[in-house]
Amino acid sequence: MTRKAHEESHLALVRRARRMNRILAETYPDAHCELDFANPLELLVATILSAQCTDKRVNMVTPALFAKYRTAEEFAAADRTELEEMIRSTGFFRAKANSILGMAQRICDHYGGEVPHTLKELVTLPGVGRKTANVVLGNAFGVPGITVDTHFGRLTRRFGWTKELDPVKVEHAIAKLIPKAEWTMLSHRLIWHGRRICQARRPACGVCPLAALCPAYGEGPTDEATAIKLVKSGPFS
C-alpha cells in the first residue's frame, strides 16, 4: 500500500522537493538530453521528431537527415516527399514534415535563418510548444527551462509535488519549488528516473533512492529482489 497522504505546508513541500532533487542529482550525475544533436536547429528538429517516438529511433533517423539538410534554408526548401520518406519511421511523418517545413520557413522569414532563443519566439514556430521550446532553451542555449513530458508530469504528481494535469500548470507549480538554475537538470533527472526506476505501471520502489521521501512508496514492489528486476537501462523512449 502507498503511504497515507497527509497535509504538508508549502515550506515543507519545498524542502522535500529540493531534497529529492539533490538525491536525483547524486543518483544520475550523467543525466542529459538523450537526443543527439550538434546545434540548436538539429535539436529543434530532433525534438519535433521525438513526439510519440523513442529517442533511440529518432537518433537512428537524424544522422542522414542532418547530413542532407544542414541549415534552416535547406530544410525550408526540402522536397516534401523526400523529407517524409526520411522521417517515416518516427511515426506521424506527414504532420512532422509539416512542422519541420513550416518551422524552417518561419525561421528564415523572421529570424534570419537562426533558431530564436527566447520562449516567446520559439513557441511562434509551427510544431513548437512550450515543451519543445524548453528542451531547446535548456540544452542548446543554456537557458533554464522545465520540460514537462509524460514522465515529468507523472513523477511530479506521484511525488506529491503537484496535483495539476495540464503541462503548463505543472511547469508553473514546479517552478515555485525548485530554483531556476536547476530547472533543466531537474527535467533530465526526472525523465531518467521515470524511464529507469519510477515507471508508470510498476515502479521499482524497493530500490528507489527516493523511497523515504515519496508518498507513493508501495505502488510498486518494495522488496529489493523483486524491484531490482524492474529497473531498466537505456536507450529509452
Which residues are catalytic, by number? 131, 149
Three-class DSSP category at 52: coil
DSSP 180: G
Q: Which cell is 92 given?
A: 506521424
Q: Are 235 and 59 in contact (CB under 8 A)?
A: yes
Q: Return the C-alpha cell found at 14.
A: 519545498
Residues 6+ apart with CB under 8 A from 102: 125, 126, 127
User: Is 203 within 8 Å of 214 (Cβ atoms)?
Assistant: no
Give the three cell numbers for residue 131.
515543451
From the list 207, 210, 232, the residue with the least C-alpha distance to 222 is 207
Neighbours of 221 (CB within 10 A): 18
Q: What CA–CA distance (Å, rounded) separates 91 from 114?
A: 27
**CA 72 to CA 101: how far, in whole Å?**
9
